[in-house]
Chains A and B, each alone.
Chain A
Amino acid sequence: MESTKRIKVDIAAFAPILFLFLLLVVYSIFAKNFLGITNFINVIRQIAITGIMAIGVTLVILVGEIDLSIPTVMAFSGMIVAGLSKGEYFGLPEIPVGIGIVVVIVVGAMIGFVTGWANAILGIPGFMASLAMQFVCSGLMLMLTNAKPLFGLKSELTFLGSGYLFNGIPVIIVVFLVVFIVGLFVLKYTVFGRNLYAIGGNADAARMAGINVARNKIAAFIICSVLACIAGILMVGRIGSAQVTAGDGLQMQPIAGAVLGGASLFGGKGTMLGTLLGVLIMGVLVNGLNLLGAGTEIQKLVTGLILFVAVAFNIWSARKAG
């Protein structure tokens, strides 16, 4: 009985890998220039920003909540770090990028704290709390910047977003991988990580076992927000300017990535590796379609259809496992 059960579970866990593999095979045959280290690095560079946000939002999804504010938080943090370094705001002099990054991370932690507090202490559903926070951040950002884009960034910022380390490894990929490995480790090997699973699986049981549910949930929101800020810093460096619209079009991608990788929106289920695979699938899918000459409309259509199929499959396999 145990062996049959194990095989079933593994099919569900391996589905993202199989699907990714399938995509790689199909594109390798049909899309010119798909197979190769250059394109591979290109894909990872494209998904790094979504990926970092997806890692953060995975923690929030694990406790059965959702954070809709992250694309706005990302754009906001990019504006702050770029603006501070150019002496744009509050009549301040030019502030070194390093200090700007610290400021942004503190701001991000505060945003995450407020959302998490509203959710865990006031009992507002994470969906609503973060939606409200998204409007708040959007408003604050417009007040601060007057929607004015910033060009001519400091070299430190462009280095983070588009620079290279040791003969051609993009910095952005290194940051992504570090965040991923730390995330993987935290989720799997720390009490905090295991607590998130317990809370998402049964918050009442977790509370009765002495786990501080509110504190852990708030922490998940804080980490999610801070990672969105880190993504924002990388974003300005990558596109070479800071825009209030930087988060547009990225609204749901991190969440979609996590769910594609097997995370359950009801909480308690999901892994970092799954999220990485989910984000990779989305990245490869779009990249291949690009190389095949498909336009944005086709890319969006296909991504949507794949999401339908993938989530239906997750739910189906969970139901089968009982």
Chain B
Amino acid sequence: MENVHGEQGLLVAKGICKSYGGAQVLNNVDFTLGKAEIHALLGANGAGKSTLMNVLNGVVPDNGGSISINGQMVRMSNPEVARHHGIGMVHQELSVLPNISIAENIFINRLPRNQLGIVQWQKLHAESEKVLRSIGLDVNPQMLLGKLSVADRQMVEIARIISMDLPILLLDEPTSALSEAEIKRLLELILQFKSEGRSVVFITHKLDEIMAVADKVTVLRDGRLVGVVTVTERDKPAERKLVSLMIGENIFDESEMFPEKGKNFGEVMLEVENLTGSAGFKNISFFARKGEIVGITGLKGAKRTELMRAVFGADTHVHGTVRIKGLEQKKPGIANSIAHGVAMITEDRKSEGLVPLMSVKENISLVTIKDCLVAFVVKKSKLDKKANKYVKKLGIMVPSINVSVRALSGGNQQKVVLSKWLTSDPDILIMDEPTRGIDIKSKMEIYKLIRQSADNGASVVIVSSEISETMGLADRIYVMREGVMVGELSAESFDHDTIMHMMFGHSK
């Protein structure tokens, strides 16, 4: 590990500073990117990775520092300037348009035209097909983009940048919404770009991805540069070194990331029998006991989310039964489920978990505001007390319970969502991808909280695409594939490869 000084690079940023209001997000950060280099940006949520990337791409102006490309000083005042200098960026939030064709998405703002300004559709489609083929996406460019899966939409976004033929690509968390197979495809693509002589900077929370492709890793912590690591050995000790650099503590073993397994399981709290839904899951049966964490894993498209929404009563099902504490639910619905002690933390905290205009306090009491009533009047003191209790209990980092949840990092936002449901003291806690897009430190804290809830008598069902997470946390695992339950494993028989094969549907 050594800091790079005075080295010539394709893209060199020096002393980059950025602050929002009074908060220093980037403090004197240096960054050097070489030609045909794959460079990972690593750091906890709020470390400043995305901000650095946005500064390099001219999306946000810096408050100090300098950027040079090929030794020439450049003022990155907007993305157009960055593009002119060969930099293209794929943002974390998808910025493709579902209501127009794939081809138009790729060439948006640059549609081929003739002298009269008329769009040349044939040329557009031919060019699009060429670009799509180069990244291995086999779809008709005339199709509406909205018909693609999230993963393929992301590929289209990458295609858009590729089509500009730029030497520097910035990818902000390109894999957070992808399944393991899709991630593999993307990493291969990144390696392909490298072989074409392009440079790629990417942000990820997943160390195995870094170990698989990165040449260099720049590690940030709290807006400061803490190290630039050249990846020479691709093994576990090297991985651990990165993590300890990133969080500023020593982490010794992966097993320490997860709390101890549960020991005593009580009666069956949730029992699902032959549940079939129009969303695509068929004849699903599973159960979860008191004190137990049950993991449900599978690829994207295995219909796990759809199944859980039906169990929770957010969507209807065609036939089958859901029994909560032995009681068959005749009139399923969200309010009914909540009344019977079921809570569901949804996959997408931005669209279904949080009310962004509301404060931390108001979000926490969204489910159980009725507990704060005194004769139909919402008591502010009760709201405050409840919010403060959970902020303390879950270790949510907030300047005040009255700030908007938008001001919080991903990990803290997820803890607010978790608090919202823990206030109802649920007997059955369903969690869909509870740690998506969250840094390792927050993940570990959330794992501990999940285990605590189980130890306190809740029955937890967690849906996760990450096999290691499911294996580390769950006491029992179900595997789904294309809407069907294909396997069940107890803790003794957990095995990464076995689960992987079940997910993909070919035998070992």
Contact = CB atoms under 8 A, between A and B. Distances in A.
B352 A4 contact: no
Contacts of B338: 210
Nearest to A200: B357
Interface string A1-14: 11011000000000
B334 A197 contact: no
Contact of B357 (A194, A209, A212, A268): A268
Contact of B358 (A197, A207, A210): A197
B136 interface: no
Interface in B330-377: 334-335, 337-338, 344, 346, 351-358, 362, 366-367, 369-370, 373, 376-377
A210 B399 contact: no
A202 B355 contact: yes
B367 A205 contact: no
Nearest to B346: A208
B356 A202 contact: yes
Best-buried of B21, B357, B370, B377 by chain A (most CB within 10 Å): B357
Which of under 10, 10 to 19, 20 to 34, or 35 or more describes the interface residues of B? 20 to 34
Given A5-B403, A208-B344, A194 B369 contact: yes
Contacts of A190: 376-378
B352 A2 contact: no
Which of under 10, 10 to 19, 20 to 34, or 35 or more describes the interface residues of A? 20 to 34
A191 interface: yes
A263 to B, nearest CB: 12
A112 to B, nearest CB: 22
Interface string B378-422: 100000000000000000000110010011000000000000100
Contacts, number: 80
B418 to A, nearest CB: 13
Interface residues of chain A: helix, strand, loop or mixed (majority): helix
Nearest to A1: B22
B406 A322 contact: yes
Contacts of A268: 355, 357-358
Contacts of A5: 21, 403, 407
B23 interface: yes
A269 interface: yes
A104 interface: no
Best-buried of A197, A200, A208 by chain B (most CB within 10 Å): A208
A20 interface: no
B314 A208 contact: yes
Interface in B182-219: none
A218 to B, nearest CB: 16
A211 B352 CA distance: 12
Nearest to A269: B357
Best-buried of B20, B23, B352, B354 by chain A (most CB within 10 Å): B352
Contacts of B334: 207-208, 210
A204 B335 contact: no
A201 B351 CA distance: 10
Nearest to A4: B21
A2 to B, nearest CB: 4
Interface in A151-201: 188-191, 194, 197-198, 200-201
Best-buried of B352, B355, B356, B399 by chain A (most CB within 10 Å): B355
A206 interface: yes
Contact of A205 (B353, B369, B376): B353
Given A201-B357, A205-B353, A2 B403 contact: yes
Interface of A: 1-2, 4-5, 188-191, 194, 197-198, 200-202, 204-212, 268-269, 322
20 contacts: A1-B21, A188-B378, A189-B377, A191-B376, A191-B378, A197-B355, A197-B357, A201-B355, A202-B351, A202-B355, A202-B357, A205-B355, A205-B366, A206-B366, A208-B352, A209-B366, A210-B367, A268-B358, A269-B357, A322-B406
Given A190-B376, A197-B355, 5 more contacts: A189-B377, A201-B355, A205-B366, A208-B314, A322-B407
